[in-house]
Amino acid sequence: MQSRPARRQNSWGDLLDNATIRRKHMDLLLTLQDTRLHVKTAGFDAVSSGFVSTAPVTSLAKVDSITTLRHGVINRGTILWCKVAAPVMRIVGVLVLVDDGSGQLFQIGLYNFVDSQASTLDCQRLLLEGTLLGVKEPYVKTFASGFMGLRTDHPSNIVVKRPNEQMHATVPPTAASSIEGLKAQGNAHFQAGDIIAAESCYSAALKQTTEAASPDMTVALLNNRAMCSLKRCAFVEALEDATKALSLVPTNAKSLFRLALALTGLRRHEESHAILMLLPRSKDVMTWRDVVARRVAESIHGHFKPIDVMGGTIVEDYIGPVEVKMTRGKGRGLFLTQPVRRGDLLLVEKAYATSLAILNERRR
């Protein structure tokens, strides 16, 4: 009598079979989706693969008007300063109407600027009317409305300044504008949810620190400003502040934690996980260890839970045994780099939006 062959483990093709979903996973999918549209924007878990300007602000040439920028390209080596002219609107990205100071009103689309839970009101508190925005190496495009504007896909491309931020440089040191006073003001703003105002206070306090200042105070200010940058998904800036803090006190746990979160936001998950494993056990550290370990498994090894992908959970991108390359006479194409079997996972891309259409049994 022949023995029955060992049962093969379900592949992705099996798990995504309609009958399998209907029998085993429909109840869970209904709970996750609730028949509503789930819009997913990159927040703490992910960041867009768009252009990231790493140039210091001081190295960029100021542009006087959007009309002098080239359309459809990244204007390298430049920065355009503009002022928020009206309450902002949150759809998927953050839509901002701005004035460049030359009489030109135009729209900026800020993508991945806030996390997926932020409302329009949250965005309006973050970008008050009169807030000064610096767009580093701007990309000019034509929106669906037909009007010209800017689009940026990474928070590090935007410099945000409150209208009164510059006053700290001219006001004599008092109880309110001393380092301790500014730090206290920043903490109050942070607790109230005004991240930009808090960051402004911490920056003003850091400008007053000198080499003779206490390293503990400088590290605390850098850690606080890094947290503000993390809150608005400016991971490059958070990475810089955390690195500066660690150069002063290499064993500071808060600085290491901020550094790990910044690396996670930049999708450098293995580096982030290595740092998190060095930190003392705490609720936050253990939570992020699990999150980052899952990101490593997803992005490097392609270990996903199909229900998470279909149910709207934010997952990491994965590129398996495929590559894009040019072919003679046929242009670009997607090619396998090794033999695959039916059901093997080739790639996963974070969904822009997911929804589930519920059909009755007759329509199935």
Residue 24 is assigned to a structural domain of this protein? yes
Contact 258, 236 (CB under 8 A): no
What is the number of structural domains in the chain? Answer: 1
Check: CB of residue 323 under 8 Å from CB of residue 335: yes
In a domain, 137, yes or no: yes
Tokens of 5: 């062959």
Predicted pLDDT of residue 348: 83
For residue 202, is it within any domain?
Answer: no
Any idea which residue has 């780099």 for tokens? 337
Q: How far is CA 101 from the centre of its chain?
A: 29
- According to the model, what pLDDT value does residue 279 have? 93
> Cα 161 vs. chain centroid, distance in angstroms?
19
Amino acid at 292: V
Which residues span the domain enclosing 144? 18-33+47-161
pTM for the whole structure:
0.61
Q: What is the mean pLDDT of each run of 10 residues along the chain (364 residues)?
A: 49 44 42 34 38 83 89 90 89 87 87 75 81 91 83 86 50 58 92 86 87 83 94 84 93 94 89 93 92 88 74 74 86 90 85 62 54
Helix (H/G/I), strand (E/B), else coil: 359: coil
> In the prediction, which pLDDT does 116 show?
66
- Is residue 354 one of the residues assigned to a domain? no
183 within domain boundaries = no
Query: Is residue 148 a part of any domain in this protein?
Result: yes
Domain-located, residue 96: yes
User: Alpha helix locations (H) across the chain?
Assistant: 12-15, 18-20, 26-33, 120-126, 179-191, 195-208, 215-231, 235-248, 253-265, 269-276, 283-301, 306-311
